Amino acid sequence: MQTGEFSRLEKIFRDLFAIGRVKVLLGLAFKVAALEDGSGQVLKFLLFRLPGDTLFAHKASDPAAALEKDAVYFRLAELCRDKVAFGEMDELLGRYLAGGRDELVVFLALCLTCRFTEAYAMAPAVLEKTASPEMLLLAADPWRNIYRPARISRALAGVKSALKRLRGPARELAARHLFILAEKAGLAPAFVPPRPGPGALLCVPSARVLLDRLEFRKAEAVFRAAAEAWPDSEQACGKYAETLFCSGKEEAALELLAGKQRVIRSPGFRAWRGQLLLFRGRYGEAVKELEGPIASGNALGWCWRGAARFKLGRSGPALADLCTAVGLDPYDLEARVWRAELLRTGKEYKKALQDLRLTLRIMPAHPWALANLALLSAETGDTAAFSAARARLGGIVRAGRAGRGNEPAALAGLLERLRGVRRHEPRFFSALVS
């Protein structure tokens, strides 16, 4: 395949992905994947150049990792998952299972299609052969980004049924699956603490549930055990630091990340510390910390550097960074909210409104999109829209005790108290808005 043709295909795929045309993207992908000439290059493109949580992003970081051709079906199934196109996802997983051979990927596909007897029969081999901590984390939460009640209920029933017959490592893994799925189903299950050692890593995805419940002490114990067992795991150490930060131990979290950078040298891990510096309000340091990951081609830093530059008053460079972040991932809601806030403060209300509407269409309860929408409405004189957005926000966070006529000022003060936080998860802002 010629370079020009490949570049043209890359743009078409990115454009289709950005506007949610999943079926068209899949049809074109199948045609391209069928080409023998350059199929390896095309496969790599399909797997690595579209944004989103992906199994293959971890495999790409391992030079020794081999990619089977059928993996294209699983990668496209991931895209369908993130677009809530579950019918297409199931079809693609079926195609993968017909020819796929990678044990971890087969295990994930079996779990996602509720073939639990087959999946848990493979579990001991998967856990034994998977040396990468990031791969183990994927095995511990196959349903990441899936929240549709019917699918969660079906998976939960399947895991409950399988659990009765399991022993050893497969039972422990199924118990973690049961905890994650039950929480997604709204059942608030009891958490089973991890045993010390390598198995603690399997608890990391379920410990994220504890973070969402603001049970920081329990979460900290899990992440500490995982970080001690896997001292070079970016996820275990990064989540440990994040838990310390959210529980009020902000400087301890930053010191942990700084120390771990001598062991974990990935650009993404350095970006993690840049993010927490932004949240702490140390904007100049955040910009410096994020320069390295951005220069290395890591996409994570663009949003956070743009936000830090905005807080430093550097609106032009900040807007450029945030536009790059949105261009790399059109569904980066944190970047869109920051960009909307920057545009709103610059009185570019029409452009700001576009970002806010898209964000709220995807996540109707995003608190900082609602806060910015309320302020935008107040600034443009739309009192009805202000009241509507403010009422929706009121069910999520309190903006202070200011009188009614002072509410826009109270909202602006709330955003100022948040410093560099525009994430939607309460663990990042609960202590700042109480």
Give residue-wise pLDDT tens across range 180-221. 999 889 887 777 776 666 677 788 888 888 888 899 999 999
Domains of the chain listed by start with CATH number: 1-101 (no CATH), 266-329 (1.25.40), 331-434 (1.25.40)
Longest dimension (CA), the chain: 69
Report the pLDDT value the prediction gives residue 230, as an integer from 0 to 100.
85
CA dihedral (127, 98, 78, 54) positive or negative: positive
Looking at this protein, which amino acid is placed at residue 53? D
Closest CA to 310 of 284, 274, 291, 347: 284
Are 193 and 207 in contact by the 8 Å Cβ rule? The answer is no
Answer whether 0.85 is exceeded by the pTM: no
DSSP 195-242: PSSGGGGGGHHHHHHHHHTT-HHHHHHHHHHHHHH-TT-HHHHHHHHH
Residue 369 has pLDDT above 90, yes or no: yes
Range with lowest mean pLDDT among 102-116, 225-239, 315-329, 374-388: 225-239
- CA 113 – CA 92 distance, rounded (Å): 11
Report the b/e string of 39-66 with b at 16+ CB within 10 A. Answer: eeebbebbbeebbeebbbebbeeeeeee
Closest CA to 182 of 174, 172, 194: 174
Range list of H helices, 19-60: 22-33, 39-48, 55-60
Residues in CB range of 154: below 8 A, 6 or more apart: 114
Give residue-wise pLDDT tens across range 97-109. 998 888 889 999 9
Report the pLDDT value the prediction gives residue 354, as an integer from 0 to 100.
97
Closest CA to 279 of 237, 307, 310, 298: 307
